[in-house]
Structure 1
Amino acid sequence: MRNTKVVIFTLLFSLHYALWAQSKTDSENIAELFYTLNGDAKDPHKKINHTKGFCATGEFVPVKNITNTYNIPLLRESTIPTQVRFSLGGGNPKASDSTKGRGLALKIEGKSDSWEIVVLNTEINFAKNLEEFVKFFEIRIPKNGKVDSQNLTKVTKETPSFANYEKYLSTIPLTPSVANTTYYSVHTFYFEDTKGRSIPARFAFVPVAGEKGLTPDEAKKLGDDFLLKDFKTKVASKPIEYKMMLILANPKDKTDDTTALWSGKHKEVQIATLKVEKYAGEGCNRDVFMPAVLPKGVGAPKDPLFETRNEVYSITFGKRQ
């Protein structure tokens, strides 16, 4: 009789656990995946992606008369104070700056509206849907202290999105400075024009100083922490500037797939200049920048990852408090 009770209890517990796991949202599961990969038991409030970074302040300066083309009231303001964060991808706070994955995050705080932007130095993402997103990180979880490199290579080759992203990464430059790095939206947003039309576009922050690359040997000579040092040197003499360019979608471009590179010529429109002026310490590293905070006149992406991305940011920010 006792054994029967144990069996029944075990079955009920298993059922309860399965239902509990199923009830968890995709966002919660993805957040847990990041903590499995990059978390630290000694520091439960640690930032678990783009962990290494530094803060700055600057100005977002809309192009004069741009609201004659786009119905975005925020862009009527002449100069908008902006909080800036530069970062490296991954969860290692001591990662080498020779890491290719980089990010730029902005809080553009206008008088009557605001815009939070998170952009990367890659034009595309590694996953087109939630299933691929989870798989990409699951194959990187160490087992018995080691990542199964054979399985990682196998799955990457078998998954077109992963293989496409790995090939793309090999083509982008390792830059010596944030002032020589282009940052991209990856997602397609929708910009309302003055005729009431919703115009699909990706956008990029293009460095006025131009994009430059490093050879592996040049990167080695710079050490592991060259980006902040270079940044402080540059802003001591003048602001680092970027042109914010809208890249308007062509009719056949995939606007709901963040793994798709747009090919051919595209109309580009500059809507603002970002001027990064001053180093502001590391206080913003525990802050959150939410891509879902959009000004009136800018519509959210329609791909499968954008909403979940914002939910994950909310969950992980809550854990850092």
Structure 2
Amino acid sequence: MLKLVRSLFLPLILFSFTHAREVYDAQKIADLFYQLNGDAKNPHKKINHTKGFCASGVFVPNEDSRLDIPLLEQKSIPTEVRYSLGGGNPHASDKSKSRGMALRIGKDSDWVIVMTNAAINFARTPEEFGKFLEMQIPKNGHVDQAKIKKVTEGVESFRNFAHYMASMGVSKSVANTRYYSTHTFYFKDKNTQRFLPARFSFVPVAGVHNLTHAELKRVGNDFLEKDFKEKVAQAPIVYNMVLELANKNDPTNDTTKLWYGKHEEITIGQLKVETYKGHGCNGEVFMPSMLPSGVEPPKDPLFNLRNEVYSITFSKRQ
């Protein structure tokens, strides 16, 4: 009888070991990005947020901030800026809904911030991140849209993100785009010395304005950079950096969830983007793990993964 049990269950045990759940570590995610957006003829190609341009300006902290961040004791901090589109196509249309803004605040990149115009992420875990990329990789030159639809409907994170993006318009300008941290960071309070969980966004002083359907038909595929140069030649493009402090039951370790209801807000200061700088920064890396004293990193499962993937892909561009 014992021999029979062994003969029945040993193959199942061996099967479970040989078919263990796939690990989606940073190297695996980087490989998937290259399968999706890479170019065999150009192995040094940037594989996400490929299309973009560079700018510079200053970050002006608010003097009465309740936060204990020594960097913000300066009156004006030099800042490098990169605007981008999501995806790996260097010739992507600016009518894309997916936008990015990356910052290096301080002469020594004291605070590096990487944001998108979406308040939430498409994946909660490394496994979801990997599966999201996998379902979009072409097979025999064909992207299986039916499979993407089916998988998206079956995964809450994918489904919520698809609904969120469907409701988003296409903004007229980077000057009319709001950019979000997505992750929850922790900010040191001067009075209590506690670290307060908060998400933040860069809110355009000119307001968020989207293109109408008629305007979308009229504009070309490369209007953002031209519009930026025209605007910045007249006056700086200005954003308020606004912290939204977490309430007791807000999910601080899940980037796929929105926070609802009223939240206490703190405006840290203003970013003033003053000068167009061409494309020199496009090949550089902006590492969001570079944080100033008084700011601690997110605790969700994707933040460290993002930094590791950035390191891997940056090294391949050299």
TM-score by length of 1: 0.91
* Cross-structure match for 2:71: 74
**Structure-to-structure mapping, 1:277-288, within 5 angstroms:** 277-288=274-285
Distance in 2 separating the partners of 1:34 and 1:74: 35
**Structure-to-structure mapping, 1:105-120, within 5 angstroms:** 105-110=102-107, 114-120=110-116
Q: 2:146 aligns with which of 143, 150, 155?
A: 150
RMSD of aligned C-alpha atoms? 1.7
* Cross-structure match for 1:9: none
Q: Residues 24 and 126 of structure 2 are in contact (CA less than 8 Å); yes or no, is this contact kept in structure 1?
A: no
* Cross-structure match for 1:131: 127
Q: 1:175 aligns with which of 171, 174, 178?
A: 171
1:88-134 Cα deviation digits (max 9, x unpaired): 000000000000000000001157x7100001100000000011100
* Cross-structure match for 1:263: 260
1:190 maps to 2:169: no
Which amino acid is the alignment partner of residue 152 of structure 1?
I
Which amino acid is the alignment partner of residue 260 of structure 1?
K
Distance in 2 separating the partners of 1:78 and 1:149: 51
Structure 2 counterpart SS, 1:284: coil
Structure 2 counterpart SS, 1:167: helix
Q: 1:165 aligns with which of 161, 166, 170?
A: 161
**Cα offset for 1:299?**
0.5
Q: Residues 60 and 76 of structure 2 are in contact (CA less than 8 Å); yes or no, is this contact kept in structure 1?
A: yes
Deviates more, 1:88-97 or 1:170-179: 170-179
* Identity in percent: 59
* Cross-structure match for 1:34: 33
Q: Residues 205 and 242 of structure 1 are in contact (CA less than 8 Å); yes or no, is this contact kept in structure 2?
A: yes
Q: Residues 39 and 45 of structure 2 are in contact (CA less than 8 Å); yes or no, is this contact kept in structure 1?
A: yes
Which amino acid is the alignment partner of residue 241 of structure 1?
V
Which amino acid is the alignment partner of residue 147 of structure 1?
V
Count of aligned residue pairs for this structure pair: 300
Distance in 2 separating the partners of 1:314 and 1:23: 22
Q: 2:83 aligns with which of 81, 86, 90?
A: 86
Which amino acid is the alignment partner of residue 256 of structure 2?
T
Distance in 2 separating the partners of 1:187 and 1:42: 35
Which amino acid is the alignment partner of residue 55 of structure 1?
C
Which amino acid is the alignment partner of residue 97 of structure 2?
K
**Cα offset for 1:25?**
7.2
**Cα offset for 1:23?**
11
**Cα offset for 1:173?**
2.0
Distance in 1 separating the partners of 2:80 and 2:226: 19
Structure 1 counterpart SS, 2:171: coil
Which amino acid is the alignment partner of residue 96 of structure 1?
S
Distance in 2 separating the partners of 1:279 and 1:158: 44
Runs of 4+ in 1 over 4 A off after TM superposition: 22-25
Structure 1 counterpart SS, 2:258: coil
Q: Residues 77 and 110 of structure 1 are in contact (CA less than 8 Å); yes or no, is this contact kept in structure 2?
A: no
**Cα offset for 1:64?**
1.3
* Cross-structure match for 2:217: 220
* Gap runs ≥5 in structure 2: 1-16
Q: 1:296 aligns with which of 293, 297, 303?
A: 293
1:272 maps to 2:273: no
* Cross-structure match for 1:10: none
* Cross-structure match for 2:247: 250
* Gap runs ≥5 in structure 1: 1-17
1:203 maps to 2:200: yes
Distance change in 2, residues 1:23/1:175 (3 Å): closer
Structure 2 counterpart SS, 1:234: helix
* Cross-structure match for 1:241: 238
**Cα offset for 1:218?**
1.1
**Cα offset for 1:257?**
0.1
Q: 1:121 aligns with which of 97, 112, 117?
A: 117
**Cα offset for 1:217?**
3.0
Q: 2:137 aligns with which of 126, 137, 141?
A: 141
Structure 2 counterpart SS, 1:283: coil
**Cα offset for 1:215?**
2.4
**Cα offset for 1:206?**
0.1
Structure 2 counterpart SS, 1:285: coil
Which amino acid is the alignment partner of residue 147 of structure 2?
N
1:52-100 Cα deviation digits (max 9, x unpaired): 000001001101132xx11100010110000100000000000000000
**Cα offset for 1:136?**
0.5
Q: Residues 156 and 162 of structure 1 are in contact (CA less than 8 Å); yes or no, is this contact kept in structure 2?
A: yes
TM-score by length of 2: 0.92
Distance in 1 separating the partners of 2:97 and 2:242: 22
Which amino acid is the alignment partner of residue 37 of structure 2?
N
Q: Residues 35 and 137 of structure 2 are in contact (CA less than 8 Å); yes or no, is this contact kept in structure 1?
A: yes
* Cross-structure match for 1:232: 229
Which amino acid is the alignment partner of residue 168 of structure 1?
Y
Distance in 1 separating the partners of 2:275 and 2:42: 29
